Structures are given as C-alpha cells and as structure tokens.
C-alpha cells in the first residue's frame, strides 16, 4: 500500500496533479484512507482519560473535532425524536428525522475513517441547558448546533492538509448549512442566511473558539490544545 505523508510540502506539490484526476473523476477520491495512519514522531495522538479527551494533532485532530461536532448533532436529534415536544408537526418530525439520519451518516463515516485514531464513539452529553419538552428550547438549540457546526467545519476546512479530508468535510458542511437554513426558516421565515456577513460569506470559526462553545455539551472536558491553529 502506498504511504502518503501529511506534510504540507508533499500535499501541495501533488495538488495540481491530483486535481486533474479530480476533475475527470470527481466523487472518486484518490489516495484516501491511509493519510491519517502515517504520523510523524511529534504527532499527538488522541487520548481519553477519566476527565479529559484530547482531540490530537494535525489532520487527525481536526477530523476528531469534526467527529465531535457530528456526535453532538446526531445525539441531539436522536434525543429530540425520542422525547418529542408536544405539538411537533408531521413536517417538523420529517425534517428532524432526515437531519438526524444525515448527522448519523457523518458521525459513522468519521468513526470508521478515523478507526483507532478516533476519540471515543459515545461521549456522554450534558443536556442540562435544553428542555426537550419545549419547542422553543429545541428549536433554539437546533439553530445553535447547526450554525456552530457549519462555522466549525469551515474553520477546519481552512486548516486540514489532505485533499480528501478537505473535500469530504466541505461536502458535509454544505449539507449542515442546508439544515441550518431550514431550521432558521422554521423559527423565523426569511432568516435562512442571516449568519452570513455583509459580503455574503459564511463566518467560519477557528477550532479553539469553537471548542470553547461546544465542550459544555459533553460531560467530559474536551481539549484541542494540539490542534493546528489559524
């Protein structure tokens, strides 16, 4: 099997070549699979002790943060449908169900891809700030999680090295953006793109500040201290 280094240099040098292949054959991604397995000596592997989960370093760490975001979203929608608020319409239920399934696909894909480099698959959530019996509480958190996920995934896209990681994360992020638009419109019609800046750009977020927001929804402490920085 061909080993691929995750160093900037090599990846950048191969970008033009692999792009040709990409354009001719988009959807089939060359060289996937082994990138995250070939680590440098100074790589920090993800760890989980009793109190703290360290996401790790390099692309592996960034993918672990994407994995954590998708774990959070999937767990949230699973709970929303398990304990539906009173008066949930058929339309709302249908939307939540499809979004839940998308988030499960995202989560399980990253789980399988990361393999032994992944953080634990079921990190217990802290839902103490959510009242699942109240529509307003659920909607507000759905809006929040989708916006945080899109901003966070876009921030990760800025930092990842490997081509197949970039394109796969971007492919997930645009679907989370579709979710976000639908949830926003359900709450207030016409707010589908309210989070974009004055130039019509999504506002991406760096992993450090994103983790600061999302870690309170987990019962363990999460650290991304070894992640690449903006």
Partner 1 sequence: MKLTDILKEIESIQPETFENATGRRDILKNLGIKVAAFATPFAAASLLSNKASAKTTDILAEAIVFALSISYMQSALYTKALATSGLIPASAVNDFTKILKDKNSHVAYWKYQLQATNNIVPAQPTYDFTAKNALPKAMTDYGTFLTVAHAIEDVGVRVYLTAVNMLLSNKAFRTDAVNIATTNARHAAHVRMQRRNLGVDMMAWVVGTEPNSIVGEIKKAYQNEDNTTQLKINTVGINGFAISFNAATGAFDEPMTDTDAKIFMTPFID
Q: Which stretch binds partner 1 (CB under 8 A): 47-55, 93-101, 122-130, 213-221?
A: 93-101
**Number of other CB atoms surrounding residue 90 within 10 Å:** 7
Q: Is 163 one of the binding residues for partner 1 (CB under 8 A)? A: yes
DSSP state, residue 196: S
- The footprint of partner 1 on residues 103-132 (CB under 8 A) is 104-106, 108-109, 111-113
**Near partner 1 by CB under 8 A: residue from 179, 211, 214, 217:** 179
**Near partner 1 by CB under 8 A: residue from 7, 10, 12, 40:** 12
DSSP H or E run through 53 = strand 52-54
We find the least distance from the C-beta atom of residue 138 to partner 1, in angstroms, to be 18
DSSP H or E run through 165 = helix 163-187
- Residue 145 CA to residue 143 CA, distance in Å, equals 6
Q: Which stretch binds partner 1 (CB under 8 A): 37-45, 80-88, 131-139, 175-183?
A: 175-183
Q: Is 1 one of the binding residues for partner 1 (CB under 8 A)? A: no
Where do we find the tokens 């645009």? 174
Q: Strands of 52-54's sheet, edge to edge?
A: 47-48, 52-54, 221-223
DSSP state, residue 31: T
DSSP state, residue 201: -
Residues forming contacts to partner 1 in the complex (CB under 8 A) are 8-9, 11-13, 15-16, 19-20, 22-29, 32-33, 95, 98, 101-102, 104-106, 108-109, 111-113, 150, 154, 157-159, 163-164, 166-168, 170-182, 185, 190, 192-193, 196, 198-204
């Amino acid at each position: 099997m061909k080993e691929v280094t995750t160093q900037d240099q090599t990846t950048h040098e191969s970008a033009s070549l692999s792009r040709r292949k990409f354009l001719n054959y988009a959807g089939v991604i060359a060289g996937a699979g082994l990138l995250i397995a070939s680590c440098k000596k100074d790589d920090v592997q993800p760890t989980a002790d009793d109190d703290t989960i360290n996401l790790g370093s390099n692309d592996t760490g960034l993918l672990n943060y994407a994995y954590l975001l998708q774990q959070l979203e999937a767990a949230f929608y699973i709970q929303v449908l398990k304990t539906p608020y009173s008066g949930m319409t058929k339309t709302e239920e249908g939307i939540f169900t499809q979004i839940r399934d998308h988030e499960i696909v995202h989560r399980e894909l990253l789980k399988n891809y990361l393999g032994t480099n992944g953080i634990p698959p079921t990190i217990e959530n802290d839902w103490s700030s959510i009242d699942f019996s109240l529509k307003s509480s659920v909607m507000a958190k759905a809006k929040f999680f989708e916006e945080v996920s899109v901003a966070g995934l876009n921030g990760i896209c800025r930092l990842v090295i490997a081509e197949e990681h970039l394109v796969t994360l971007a492919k997930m992020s645009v679907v989370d953006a579709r979710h976000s638009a639908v949830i926003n419109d359900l709450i207030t019609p016409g707010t589908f793109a309210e989070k974009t800046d004055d130039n019509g750009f999504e506002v991406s977020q760096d992993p450090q500040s994103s983790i600061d927001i999302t870690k309170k929804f987990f019962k363990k402490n999460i650290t991304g201290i070894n992640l690449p920085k903006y």
